[in-house]
Structure 1
Amino acid sequence: MKLAKTLAIWMLCCILSIPIYSQLNNDCNAGGAIGDNLLNNGSFEDGTLGFVGGGSGMDSWQSFGNIFLLESPDGYCQPVPTVAAPGNGKNFVKMFGTFSGVSVLIGPAMEAEAGETYVASVDMYSPKEEECNGVMFSDHIPEGNPNFGIVQIQYLDGGGVVLGFSESKQFDYKYAAGRWTEMSTIGVIPDGAASVRIVVLFIQPGFDGGAIYYDDAKLALKAEGVSTTNLACNDHVNVTLNSDCASDITGDMFIEGDYDDLTLDFEITNNIGAQIDPEFPIFNQTLNYSVIDICSGNSCWGTVLFEDKEDPTIDCEICPEINGSSVLDYSDDCILACYEQPILQLRYDDRLRDDLVMEDYEDFADDAMSDNCDNWDPEDVSFYDDYQSLGACVGTRLKRTWTVGFTRNDGTRGTVSCTREYFFAPVDLSTAREYDVDPLTGQYIIEPIEDTLVLPPASISLPCGVDVSPEGIAAFFDNPLTEDRDTDDNGIDPDELDVDLVVENNEGYAWGYPHYYQDGVGSGGPHAQKIDNEVCNLISGYTDQEIDACAPGCGGNRKILRSWVVLDWCTGQFAEYGQIIKSQDTQGPQLSVPNTSASVDPWNCTAAVNLPAPEHIGDDCDSDVTYYIGNTGGYSVSGNATDGFVLHGVELGTHTIEYLSEDCCGNIGRATMQVTVVDQTGPVAVSKEFIVISLTNVGNTVDEFQGFAKIYAEDIDNGSYDGCTGVSLEVRRTPVCDAADAQWGPFVTFCCEDLQGGGSAEINVELKIEDEYGNANIVWATVLLEDKSGTIPVIPPHMFLTCDMDYNDFSITGG
């Protein structure tokens, strides 16, 4: 707090552009009487109502900060006129802090001389908390709020510079009790000072709220003289602590007779001389005190005992004892459901019990106990229960009586008690409700609805073959990932968690049964609790009517028309509720089909593909399912599931074929497979049947006689072709003339050796036809080789003829 005040003073000095100065102790240099008030407008009656924090607005005062001059309430629980003005008139000043900082009232400077004693005071007020209930910004300063108000006497030199100050105690949250308190200070003018003034401050170190009201400011000179009054202390003083376990003690309480507390200073110490805070002293222990008159220096002493004489109290306004006879007599916080009574009465899990009706001692103490000095022991807190049945159709009262023991100041023991009353009510059948439906998805919103009977969804869809009893439905919807804590229903007195009165984590109960919700021992609650027979005043039962859900004889598919009846056997009223349960196959058959491939035929570059039967085909409910072909990409299909399907005219490439299967509920299963058509068919090879070729004489100077012939593949081909692509032609033969003839090539050769001395010879030549995919076909052709070339002519050498020679005469030219 000292740091906060120092910071506030520094900020004030910055605002007023004055140097930082030091605080002086309260002091007195005069024993005479306190003179008249030197302030002309100490009661703030002269000024303009409203905001005055801009520097002016009140006669004789400078004002800076969040300051208002008021005469009537402004909505934030300021004091009403009957308690507002202890001074002359009805106006008062309100200072508050919306933001951190200082608000200040500065009075006029009065001429003064060194050594004179001055007294300053102002009345301060902050409302009680209850006076401010419901207001937007409370003026109450709560406990722990660091805001405070003070009054100072400031000492100024001839140039108006502050040399120092003395100040009062801080008016803080401890004084926020809805009453006016005079805060005062006394001081002696230091050397060098030429004037004195009063300063009233509201200091807000942080951003906490609250406000202080100020009225009846005084600044007065204390007359000179020597006090002849001798102090006479009481030998022993007993002080009763207030409701905050603090003392409101002042110095004059120790003095015999009347005395001005302003000039008294006192100190309290223990038996070893350590100083004790008089506001929060040690109680029930004798302490020492000493008092000194700061004006005369006279002193006296004695002993003091601080006593706590307030007994603890218990708040009995929560669920008070009323001896109610129906649920209408109790507030909602005091009503429990009948099915919660065993949890308390059989002393099921302690945390769960405490959630229903508070029984934790520490929680009870924090919630209901009140004692100024906390002079009680948590070990002395206890309770007992009294269950009073008014009949199963009316309900049960629970009276829980709390007792707190404590030790009084004189050492005697005392107790305080409080009885709280609760009511276990039967289940009200008229409050039964259904789950909401999501308007976007049409699905039921299964989430806890507490304190009422909840009906299961009116429409439930299950796979075929699932058990449609309430037990089967609950098992189907139960989350396998959560651990169910099932009740054993043995009703024995529990040992820790031996009796599971609450079934936890069975999510299926909400679908299969009428139910209610109850918190459990574990997390994740509240949990649905089934009503499958008798619970409290309710009995439930059902009847079923079964019809086929799909085609007659479609196994495992059925529709149940379930009629629930929930009877309140106390009133005779009952609720009928219909539930449609469809156990129906909604999934199509499952198929898996292998991929297949085929080659085109030799003529049209298309294929007729035998489609494979599915490797697997089955259905959850229909044991006799078959298949058919769906989308083929435009190709025609023939056949049936028994003999097989054929896909016609399929071109080269990969094609997706759809297989379909329909069960007896009309659900269709789909699967696709890939048909890949490739060209693995060789071309059609055609060769000529009669080919005759003759050797040709080739003359050379080495050997006059050489027969030679060559035949090309095109000469042998007779229109070979491929259905998809163009073809290439190559030939070969058994080599005789040239070794290269053994390899495929564009032609083969013949020579004289092929005739083997004869006039002709038949020679076989292979013709290979190959398409662009490397598919080939070979055909043979027989070539008849003949030698019809004759001898090779010899040209005579060059000669010269005369003009009379006949060049046609071979006898001359040769031949």
Structure 2
Amino acid sequence: MQCPATLHIDLPPEACETAVFFDTLSWSFSGTAVSVAFTPPSGTVFADGTHDVTLQVVDDAGTTHSCTFQVIVRDYEQVLACRNDITVTFGDDCAIGVEPLQVLEPGLFGCPDDYTLELRFQGQVVDSIRLEHHNKWLIATARDTVDGHSCWSSVFVGGDLPPNIACPPDAVIFCNEAPLPELTGRPDTTACRPLLSLTYQDVVLKQNCSQPYAFIIERTWTATDVEGHFSSCTQKIFAKWLSGEPILFPPDFDGNQLPALECNDSLSFEEMTDPERTGVPQIAGNPVTDLCEFSALYQDSLAQGCGGERTLHRAWRVVDWCEGVVTRDTQVIRLVDDKPPAFELPDVLTFSTHPTCDDSLRFPPIVPTFECSDFEVTLF
């Protein structure tokens, strides 16, 4: 049995290992071979170095014959050279990893695992590139750990480093809801430097009754860091119509549904019955607005009672201009005056007679502390 000759393999540039196949090797066996096997098998990946391979043959009598040959894998014979200048930028994680492959000239070096990289900034060795190196130059030295050869390149740390911003998903709200970020969402941001501001600007695109939404807001979010770098993204907010949603009219203040209003000498009747205090029609939990093509109108009818007592009938009309539907309701607001007047007077009044002995005295006016209507003062 004659084994294959030693097999020499030269690695290509930038390769650390290669697959070796034995299908075309030349060897001989004088008997009848029933089975043939290589250990390790054909197609095995070999790294740089010398490797033993065993060829095993079983003949027709069941006898095993074997021999050993060598596979010698040689590293690429390099002409080590570095690039002149390279530029690197920070990634989304605000880090830069410089590898020997970025510094070495392509095709002129062997296995990348055989090289180390040393970084120097202003003559001092640094373990990594940091934010303080932004827009500055460093020296990167690549060294072959096998033969000690080295070369170097100038490395510029560039890039604008704007913040990263990811807008919240598009949102759908009712057209009478306030599109606050607490409802529609805020963007996710990451930044290499502290953020100075996170702002947004809205553009409202009004729609008509034939379209699926009352209006669409294009909200542009902008994240700005302390050095003025910024990034933006756009979120869309779709405002749906109110048609078909139930209308909730304001309650009665009549002593049945809600307590009647009590006479109040610090507020006028008009102030007490202002819709801002007594309520307005609502749909989906919010007042109707013109943006929804809805209007809430009212007309008051006032009845005067005894003293300061009054009853207000407020006739509400809610108009859906898109559907041409008018919904009505009457709100009753009653003001009661069921407390007697309260006033202040001195406990003791002292008078001196007039030199002419007049029989008239002038009493000081009373000081009312509570009263909602006109009153008379009687002395007895």
TM-score, scaled relative to structure 2? 0.46
More helix by share: 1
Which of these two proteins has the greater Rg computed from alpha carbons? 1
TM-score, scaled relative to structure 1? 0.25
- Quick one: higher RCO (CA 8 Å, sep 6+), 1 or 2? 2
More strand by share: 2
